[in-house]
Amino acid sequence: MENSLLFQTVIYLSASVVCVPIAKRFALGSVLGYLLAGMLIGPFVLGFVGKEGKAVMHFAEFGVVMMLFMIGLELNPAHLWKIRKQIVGVGLSQVLITTAAVMGIGIAAGLAWQSSLAIGFAFAMSSTAIVLQTLKEKGLMLTPAGQSSFSVLLFQDVSVIPILAILPLLVFMPGAASEVHSGGAIDDLPNWLQTIIVFASVGVVVLLGRYAIVPLLRMITKTHMRELFTASALLIVAGITLLMLRVGLSPALGTFLAGVILANSEFKHELESDLEPFKGLFLGLFFIAVGASIDFRLVYEKWLNIALITFSIVAVKALILFLIGKKAKLSLDQNLVFAIGLSQIGEFAFVLFSFIGTHNILTPAQTDMMLAVTALSMTSTPLLTIVADKWILPRIVEGENKKFEKQADEVDERNDVLLVGFGHFGTTIARFLRANGIVATVLDNNSDQVDLLRKMGFKVFYGDGSRADILEAAGASTAKILIIAIDSPELNLAIVKTVKKHFPNLEIMVRSKNRMDTYDLLDEDIHHIYREHLDTSVRLGVDVMKKLGYRTYSAFRAGQNFIKYDEAALLTLSKNRKDMKVYISVVREQIALQEELLQNDSQIIPSKNDHAWDSKDMREKILELDSKK
C-alpha cells in the first residue's frame, strides 16, 4: 500500500498543501515551501518517501523542461534587443564574475577544476521567484534597483541553456569525477559526426517550430476543443524532449529554442495559459523531490561547513553585485537593495545540481552538501531583507538625504487650492482646474519629475508635501482646499495626519487606491475621498447601458445613484472591517441593499425633461424648431 502510486500521490499533495501556505505566510516563497515539504516526508524525517524519490526526480524534471519552454515563450527578441546593453552589461558581468570567483575558491579548496566550474555556474544563479515577488510587493520593479535586478535575472534564465549544454562536456574532460554516457543513440559514433548531428537536431527544432508546430496548432484550433489544444501543447514539449534525449543533447535547450520560436506566434498566450498549471505542478514535484533527497545525516555531520559555505557565498555574491551596481552608477540605497536582493542562490541551482549529480561531476555527498547550501541561502534572503529594510537602508537614506538633499523651492504664489502630488492623477486634476480658471499651487517631491513638467509648461514647485514647514511655505495656512494626489496610500495618510494637526482650516480632498485605503482615511474623519477606479468603472457601465438601448439620462442617473449608495455603504463596512466574518456578512447585505435600491430607482418614470440628456432627442427638437422658423 505504502508503495502504491495513489498513496504516494496523496503524500506529495498533502505535503504541498500543508507546507507551501505556511512558507508563503512567513514570506519565504513557494519554492522553500516545496523544499520543506520534501524534507518533511523524506527518509530522514517522517520517512513516507524513500528510494523512490530518485525515480520521482527523473519524472519531475519534466517540469524543469517545461519551465524553460515557458521562459522561451516569454522572451520577445525585439524587447530583448531594446534592453540588450543593460542585460549584457549587468547580467553577463554578474554571471561571469561570480562563476570565476566561486571556481577560484573551489580550486583553492582542493576540488577539480571541472567540479569547481560546475559549482560556480550553479552558485551564480539567483532566485527569480523570490526576487521578483519581493520587488513587486514593495513596488520596486520600476526603480533602478528593480530594473537592474530584472536584467540580471533575465540573463541568468537565458544562461541556464548554454550551461546545461556545457555541463555534460565537463564529464569527458581530463580530471573529471567519472565518465558517463549521456544515454543518447549517437554515443558510439565518431565525435565529428556527433557534433554534426547535435547541430542538425537544433536546426530540426527550429524548422519544426516555424513550419510544423504552428500549422499543427492552427489545425487543432479549428476543432474548437480546448482539451485537444492542451494535449497538443504537452505533445510539443514531450516530443522535443524525446528528440533531444535521443541525440544526447539537453532537452532544456530544445524546448527553450522552441519556446523562443513560438514567442511571436498567435498561440503564445494560449500556450502559456494551458501549460502554466502543468509547469507549476511538475516544478512543485521537482522541488519536493529535491527536498526529499537531501541527506540530513550529512548535513548534521557537516553543519559547520555548510553554514560557512552559505555565509561565504552570500557575502561574495553581495560584494560582486554591489561592485557591479556601483559601476552601473546606482545610488547607495538602490545598490544595497540590488546587491542584497540577488545575493542568494536560486532555484535553478537545484536544476543544475540535478544534472551535475546525474553526470557524476560531483560526488553524491558533495551534491547533497551543495543542495543544502542552496536551500539555506534562499531561507536567509527574507531575514537579510528585513535587516536591510529596518536598520541599514533607513540610516543610509537619512545620511544621503542630509548630504545631497535638494532645497525645497521658494513658493512665490498664494492660491485657494494646494495640490500635493503631480503624477498622472494630479496632472489631470490641475489641467481640469486651470481650464476652468482655477489656479492651484502644485508641490511634488520628485525633482526629475518637476524638471520634466516644467519643460512641458507646468508651474510646479519642488517640495515634500508631508512636511508641515513646506506646506506652510506653500500657503497652507491661508489656502481653502488641499488636494492630496500621491500614489502611495501610506504617504497620503501621513500627510492627512500632519495637515489635521497643523492646518485645521484646510478642507482635505484625497486620492484613494481602494476600499481598504478608504477605510483608513474614514478613520481620520476625512469625508472627501476619491477612489481611483470607482468613477471610471461606473462610467464604463453607464456606456454599456447606453449601448444596450437605455436613455442617456437613465444610465447617467443609475451610475450616480450607484456611487452614492456605494459611498454610503463604506461607512457601515468601515466599522466592521476588523472582524472578517462579520465584514463578509455585511458586504453581502450591502450588495443586496444596493441592488434593491437601484432596481427601485429604475421603476421611477422620469419627467419628459429628462429626454434633454439624449443627444438623439436633442437633435430632433432642434430640427423641429428650425423647420418652424
Of 486 and 68, which is predicted with more confidence?
486
Where do runs of H (alpha helix) occur along 503-606? 515-523, 534-547, 552-576, 580-603
The model scores a pTM over 0.75: no
pLDDT band (50, 70, 90) for residue 313: very high
- 34-43, 74-83, 305-314: which is most confident: 305-314
Question: What average pLDDT does the segment 480-486 reach?
Answer: 90
Contact (Cβ atoms closer than 8 angstroms) between residue 214 and residue 262: yes
Task: Please give the full DSSP string across 230-280, using - where no structure is assigned.
Answer: HHHHHHHHHHHHHHHHHTT--HHHHHHHHHHHHTTSTTHHHHHHHHHHHHH
pLDDT at 36 over 80: yes
Comparing 182-196, 231-245, 436-450, 613-627, the range with the smallest average pLDDT is 613-627
Q: What is the structure's pLDDT at 189? A: 63
Predicted confidence (pLDDT) per residue in 123-139, tens digit? 999 987 778 767 776 76
Among all chains, which residue has been given the C-alpha cell 540590488? Answer: 338
pLDDT band (50, 70, 90) for residue 61: low
pLDDT at 69 over 50: yes
- 181-190, 206-215, 498-507: which is most confident: 498-507
Which domains does the chain show, CATH number per domain? Answer: 5-179+191-391 (1.20.1530.20), 417-532 (3.40.50.720)
Predicted confidence (pLDDT) per residue in 216-244, tens digit? 888 888 888 888 888 888 888 888 888 77
pLDDT at 199 over 60: yes
Q: What is the structure's pLDDT at 475? A: 87
Q: What percent of the chain has pLDDT over 70?
A: 80
Would you call 305 helix, strand, or coil by DSSP? helix
Taking each helix axis from N to C end, the angle separating 268-293 and 52-74, rounded to the nearest 10 degrees, works out to 150
Give the Cα separation of 576 and 573 in Å (integer).
5
What does the buried/exposed string (b/e) look like for 481-514 if buried means 16 or more CB atoms within 10 Å of the residue's CB? Answer: bbbbbbeebebbbebbebbeebbeebebbbbbee
Question: What average pLDDT does the segment 307-316 reach?
Answer: 93
- Cβ neighbours of 538 (radius 10 Å): 18
Question: What average pLDDT does the segment 605-624 reach?
Answer: 52
pLDDT band (50, 70, 90) for residue 321: very high
| DSSP single-letter state for residue 613 | G
Q: What percent of the chain has pLDDT over 90?
A: 12
CA max distance for the chain: 105
pLDDT at 621 over 60: no
- 64-68, 362-366, 512-516: which is most confident: 362-366
Pairing of the two strands 440-444 and 417-420: parallel
Question: What average pLDDT does the segment 409-427 reach?
Answer: 82
Of 56 and 66, which is predicted with more confidence?
66
Question: What average pLDDT does the segment 171-187 reach?
Answer: 49
Q: What is the structure's pLDDT at 97? A: 95
Predicted confidence (pLDDT) per residue in 428-476, tens digit? 888 888 888 888 888 888 766 777 777 777 788 888 888 888 888 888 8
Q: What is the structure's pLDDT at 98? A: 95
pLDDT at 179 over 50: no
Question: What average pLDDT does the segment 264-281 reach?
Answer: 80
Q: What is the structure's pLDDT at 99? A: 95
Among all chains, which residue has been given the C-alpha cell 555534460? Answer: 168
Question: What average pLDDT does the segment 162-188 reach?
Answer: 59
Give the Cα separation of 308 and 291 in Å (integer).
21
CA 243 to chain centre: 33
Comparing 127-141, 365-379, 573-587, 607-621, the range with the smallest average pLDDT is 607-621
Q: What is the structure's pLDDT at 246? A: 74
pLDDT at 304 over 80: yes
Q: What is the structure's pLDDT at 178? A: 42
Give the Cα separation of 387 and 318 in Å (integer).
15
Q: What is the structure's pLDDT at 404? A: 41
Question: What average pLDDT does the segment 270-279 reach?
Answer: 81
Predicted confidence (pLDDT) per residue in 500-535, tens digit? 988 988 999 998 888 788 888 888 888 888 888 788
pLDDT band (50, 70, 90) for residue 294: confident
Residues pairing with 420 in the sheet? 443, 484
pLDDT at 569 over 60: yes
CA angle 348, 349, 350 (to 5 degrees): 90
Q: What is the structure's pLDDT at 173? A: 46
Of 52 and 345, which is predicted with more confidence?
345
Q: Is the four-CA dihedral 618, 624, 627, 629 of positive or negative sign?
A: negative
Question: What average pLDDT does the segment 323-350 reach?
Answer: 88
pLDDT at 401 over 60: no
Q: What is the structure's pLDDT at 601? A: 63
Q: Which of 287, 402, 303 is nearest to 348 (CA)?
A: 287
Q: In whole numbers, what is the pLDDT of the chain averaged over residues? A: 78
pLDDT at 122 over 90: yes
